[in-house]
Amino acid sequence: MDLSPARAGRYGRAASRWARLLASGRARPGVRVFYGHDRVPAPGARVAGGTAKAQKLNERFPNSPGDFSLLYLGTTWLPRDLRALLRLARRRGAPIVVNHDGVAYPGWAGERVEELNRPLRAAVLAADHVFFQSDFSKLSADRFLGEPRGTWEILRNAVDVHRFTPAAEPPAGGPVLLLGGDQTQAYRIELALRTLAALLPRHPDARLLVTGRIVAAVEPLLDALGVRGHVHLLGAYAQRDAPAVFRRAHLLLHTKVKDPCPTLVVEAMACGLPVVHPASGGTVELVGDEGGLGVPHPDTWERDEPPSPEAMADAVERVLAELPAYAAAARARVVERFALEPWLERHREVFERLAPR
């Protein structure tokens, strides 16, 4: 089997790490955190899911692959050698802390539900402490993984409110909607495009910015809906560039249903973008009543059925009609509830309580 230099390097680092770990005894006292991967994205680098949490924590608690006293795992960034690491942590007396996001359910995972949930279950049930990212995360985990055996709490995702700030001036011209993150489910970008099409008769100069990886072929739909000149595909962006991306828009159009706790949403709100979203999942807990509008839709585990484009466009229209008030309320809600420092401080408290003494 031919290995790329990058893959060969990963295998080499993993082999070296395991050699050191297997030769070591019980973990020494103190807080030394290992995130399950030899490398954590550098500050400002591109992140997604669990890498974002590790990136934030890594600046306060540097990654310690070879001499860890606490194993911290994000369920959207689990290592391939998960089960071996869980066994090793137990043998070394190193507590396990898990940051849990969402689960696989039939609506999007189909017949792969159990296959995809198996490693999540192993992590959550092995944990000494679980940070559930939302009430919805806890509800879905209890249903599909089982209740945690250790302690747990709800700790919603956080944002650096000193970096993510509103634009000095809102974007010029007609309303600019942002569809952020990666578009890994076809319905998400299709709903955004159809929402834009439903909005254009009322706002002929409206535009939609789309970021990230796109799995669906959107070119035919752009022409069919007559929105080609109103849609701008921005591609992926690094975390250092995220505030500038948000400042290009007036409003975040978040189309994912049952989203457990999207950091994207709190980043946008911190930048003064209210959010229009399907009224399900943890997004409802983040946005609340003041940070935007949730749009009702059929909410079941068996299928993903988002709101109609017309209903989403109506919600966008309502937010745009009171945009300054919604923008100020979105920013204030994040500063009050989802700032980064309290999130980091809570991690410190848990780490120091659990770490070997």
Count CB neighbours of 304 within 10 A: 21
Binned at pLDDT 50, 70 and 90, residue 3 comes out as low
Binned at pLDDT 50, 70 and 90, residue 220 comes out as very high
Span 165-189, average pLDDT: 95
Cα dihedral across residues 313, 229, 275, 273: positive or negative: negative
Query: For the chain, what is the mean pLDDT?
Result: 94
Burial (Cβ within 10 Å: 0-12, 13-18, ≥19) of residue 110: exposed
Consecutive H or E run containing 325: helix 323-337
Query: What residues does 135 pair with on adjacent strands?
Result: none
User: Which DSSP state fits 306?
Assistant: P
Span of 130-139, 149-158, 215-224, 242-251 with lowest mean pLDDT = 215-224
In this prediction the pTM is 0.93
Tens digits of residue pLDDT in 243-298? 999 999 999 999 999 999 999 999 999 999 999 999 999 999 999 999 999 999 99
Binned at pLDDT 50, 70 and 90, residue 300 comes out as very high
Residue in the structure block whose two tokens are 């400002």: 44
Confidence check: pLDDT of 304 > 90 = yes
What pLDDT sits at residue 1? 46
What pLDDT sits at residue 48? 75
What pLDDT sits at residue 22? 67
